[in-house]
Amino acid sequence: MSNKAMVDELTDMNNRRYMEWFIGEKIKKLEEESGTISCMMLDIDYFKQFNDRYGHIAGDVCLKKIAEIIRGCCQDNDVAAIRFGGEEFFICLFRWDRDEAVEMAETIRERIAECRFKINGEEEGAVTISIGVYTWHGEGKVQMDDLVCLSDKALYQAKKNGRNRVEVLP
């Protein structure tokens, strides 16, 4: 498969094909080592309303900026970040414990909240994100779908508890 097939054209981030291939291989190695994997599911708060109000071009600019911030925070070789779909992003942190993952999640959340988007030449308020974090502690086998599902469950808890926050699945 070509590299082009593994990259999201809009955000220039890796995509779900990359996740299935690369992250899947890393998981196999960590299962053998009993290493930890922390995962984050990120979702832009009220993104549909943003698109409805400002239009899809502004929405694309917003997605590109958020992807840039996420990539800037994910420079470590043991971190893989992808655009999961729509306004959702997924990050896997290999050999990172829960506290380290939460610290990174808070950094990403804060940087995005501080970012201001210009629309039609005018400065607008911040866009916020909600983040769900789940850490697998190396017991037994783990499937990619499980990591996605559990971090997604934590994300929905963040949305339920008010958005613009990080929630951790115990």
**Rg from Cα positions in the chain:** 16
Q: Is 106 a catalytic residue?
A: no
Cα–Cα distance measured from residue 116 to residue 167, given in angstroms and rounded to the nearest whole number: 24
Cα–Cα distance measured from residue 158 to residue 110, given in angstroms and rounded to the nearest whole number: 15
The greatest distance separating any two alpha carbons of the chain, rounded to the nearest whole angstrom, comes to 53
CA angle 27, 137, 17 (to 5 degrees): 25
**Burial of 145 by CB count in 10 Å (0-12 exposed, 13-18 middle, 19+ buried)?**
exposed
Q: Which of 25, 87, 106, 114 is catalytic?
A: 87
Cα–Cα distance measured from residue 28 to residue 155, given in angstroms and rounded to the nearest whole number: 25
Residues with a known catalytic role = 87
